[in-house]
Amino acid sequence: MRFKAKLAPEQVSLLYSVIVPLARLSSSASETSAWARNGSILYMDSDRFSISCKGRSQETDGISCFAEFRAAEGIFLEHRIESVAENNGILMEIDLGQLKLALQSVCANSMNSSERGTIEAAYNLDERSAVFKLAKRNNMACLCIEALSASKIQVHHAVPVRILRVTDKQQYMPPMIDDPTVKLQIVAPHQVQTRPLRTILENMRTMETARSTHPTVLVYGNQQSGELTISLESEGASIRAYFADVAPAATADPEKYECTVKVDARKLSAALQWQQQPQYISSALLGLLENQQLILHVSLEPAGVGFFTYYVPVHYLSKEAD
């Protein structure tokens, strides 16, 4: 089993920007072992590189996220993979927190100088690229990351991984759900400014903290009018944010054009952390499925390189409450 890939600085930065919110989602402060506490799944084959993780803290429990990148001419400049498994695939468990720190170090130490000398030749690194490879360190499987710092010192990280059977891949795939009743583009392609849903939600949470430690919000979407409303209501307070002219996307049943879901404000905020780095976002779709899921599907920039999708659990909402 072998894996080796070369990434340009822009590709490392893109991967890091996706890993950061996923590492927060999958981290836990419990006293269990690191694997049980923070383990997430990486899958790679000749065509794709994907990440699967779940929320593991009280604020993120029940959330799952699935990210996928195009491998060739996508997240990698070049890559080679050898496996006896189906589709030449490799499946592994990894702590995204450790991977995030490794990528952060590589991003901080990227350089522009073209004079590499013998170091470049020894580690097969070109002017600014980083190398990812699967190797053993101290008899432990690791995802190793190598790059050169501005002072021509090799930067090396070895993130422990646990190799899994590729036949178990289906256990870590996105959940099977119905087509959302409402789909609204909260970030349209080539849109300069994103709708600051997380900022508004955090302001709501701040105003509500004194009344409730577990605030919930109602999210209403109208496919026909392009209306999106987020409201938080409690004794003596009602806070609502309105967004008009939100572009709709096609749905399976055009006759059902509106939907309301009730969701934990902390979970929704956790699923919106990607809005802190909008430069890598091409478009984002909000999907509402009554009493089932709130879905956030985000396409990455440059277009076609990949996407990630959050699946956020919702509270049961009776017809009378709706």
Looking only at the bridges linking them, the beta strands covering 90-95 and 258-264 are: unpaired
Looking at residue 152, what is its pLDDT?
72
Domain map (residue ranges) of the chain = 2-172, 182-313
CATH class of 2-172: alpha beta
Quote the pLDDT of residue 318: 80
The CATH class that applies to domain 182-313 reads: alpha beta
The two three-digit tokens of residue 164, written as one number: 């899994």
Residue 263: which of 297, 222, 220, 213 has the closest Cα?
220
**What is this structure's pTM?**
0.89
CB 39 within 8 A of CB 54: no
**Successive 10-residue mean pLDDT values, the chain, 322 residues:** 95 96 82 58 97 91 96 94 94 96 87 39 56 96 88 86 95 93 89 75 75 81 94 80 89 87 94 90 95 96 95 88 54
pLDDT of residue 113: 40
Tell me the angle at which helices 9-26 and 96-108 cross, rounded to the nearest 10 degrees: 150
pLDDT of residue 114: 39
**DSSP letters spanning 183-231:** EEEEE-TT-SS---HHHHHHHHHHHHTTT-SS-EEEEEEETTTTEEEEE
Fold match between domain 2-172 and domain 182-313: yes
